[in-house]
Every structure is written in C-alpha cells, then in structure tokens.
Amino acid sequence: MRFSVLLLLFIGVASADEISEAKKRWAESPHGPLLERILPPSFDVAQLPERESRGAKLTTTYCVQCHNLPNPAMHDAARWPGVVRRMVPRMEGKGNLGKLMADMMAGVRSPSDEEERIISPAILMAREQGIDATGPYPPDTIFMRARDGHFDAVVAMYHDQGLIPVKLLAFDQAVNVTLGLPIIRTSPDHGTAFDIVGRNKANPGSMRAAIELAINLAVKRHDRGQQISDPSIHKSA
C-alpha cells in the first residue's frame, strides 16, 4: 500500500516553471550574477537518478532557488548529508557572508526543523515497516494526484489541511474512518446540520457512503481473517 505524507511548506520535484521562477529571481536580484556563477548550468532535472527519492526532492525543491542543479556525482553518499547541513543555515541567511548572505537569501524557503525531527523520520519508519510511504508533498497538488489514483491515502499534518480538499472534492460522499480500533467505525464526514433538522433538506449521501464503506471493510476484514486462519484460501486478484 502506498501512503503519502505531506506538510504545507514542502514541495515535490521541481517543475520547469519552478526552475524558471528561480532563474527569474536571480535575474531580478543584484546578486544574480553571483548566484549564477555558484553552479553553472550542467545538469537537468531529467538526469536525476531516482527522481521520486527524498534526496531528489530535497535537491529540486530547495537547491534550485539559489543556483543550478548540482550533479549528484559531485559528492559520494557519505558526504551529501554534510553538504545539506552546511547549506540549510545559508538558506536561512546565516552563512559566512553576513548581511550579504541574508540579502541574497531573502524569500528563500529552507527545510523546517519539523521536517528534520518529525516528518522525515516518520516516513523512514513507515518504509522500514514495509509501507510505501513517500513525501513530504505540497497540499496544493497532492490531493489532485491522490484523486487521480497515484496514492492509496494522504496523511495530512492537521485537520483543516486534509478536510478542506476532501469536502471540496466530495462533500456529499466523504466518510470519516477511525483507524487503529479493534472494530470498524465509519461516520458521515460532516456536521449535524441542526439548522435544517426536520425540514426534509438533509442529503443522505455521506451517511449512505459511510454505511457502504463499513460493509466493504467488514467483508474484507472477514476475508483476510479466513486467509490467515486457512492458508489454503487464496483471495482472487
């Protein structure tokens, strides 16, 4: 099963538009010529190995803000983490150029402490348990990709970040499912709507969807239990 972890400030693999925006920023900055000389154009996004990996996303999210893409072969695997640790303070305007560094980095996004301490380790822990967890991704695009079938689930960092797109996409069909319980629990994914009680205006779509999902989950749990208890039973694809 594939899961995606997202956080509002994070972005996936850079698009051509994002790189164009970075180059526009260089052109408008008085430090543009210096930024361009830091790393002359020599490597393209399409050349990145494992473009969906965390390292590739880190590179194409943050590095392109200030210079062209670095070639992964510039350092070996053991040295790249140290490069990242050196670059993050510079992205925060705290590098060895003093005020000049702060001016150059104005408007630049840097990885947050929360990503380093919580989000990334959680993704790695999930992968170690056999879950195809990837990310983090931005909420402005991840839900559309999930809608199109790229992911089985999206783990949002807080309530409204997840519920706004869900209700926008399927207000009358959305279902609340509580995970980690010994029983199956589903409910309509909306409020009680006391303002229309007794007026024959309520839409039962979400309630119907919650009941149907509960039945579907119960059947699958029953089938899975039979498979565990009797290895001769094989579920058809």
What are the pLDDT digits (tens) for 191-219? 888 888 889 888 899 999 999 999 999 99
**DSSP at 49:** S
Among candidate residues 166, 158, 92, 127, the one with its CA nearest the CA of residue 1: 127
| Confidence class for position 82, pLDDT limits 50, 70, 90 | confident
Mean pLDDT of the chain: 76
| pLDDT tens digits along 159-196 | 888 888 888 888 889 999 988 888 999 999 888 888 88
Q: Residue 157 above 70 pLDDT?
A: yes
Count Cβ atoms within 10 A of the Cβ of residue 61 and give its class: 0-12 exposed, 13-18 middle, 19 or more buried.
buried
Is the pLDDT reported for residue 147 higher than 70? Answer: yes
Mean pLDDT lowest for which of 8-17, 63-72, 122-131, 176-185? 8-17
- Identify the burial level of 55 via C-beta atoms within 10 angstroms of its C-beta, where 0-12 means exposed, 13-18 middle and 19 or more buried: middle
Q: Are 105 and 92 in contact (CB under 8 A)?
A: yes
How far is CA 194 from each of CA 171, 205, 208, 209, rounded to the nearest angstrom? 17, 17, 19, 21
SS3 186: strand
At residue 235, does pLDDT exceed 70?
no
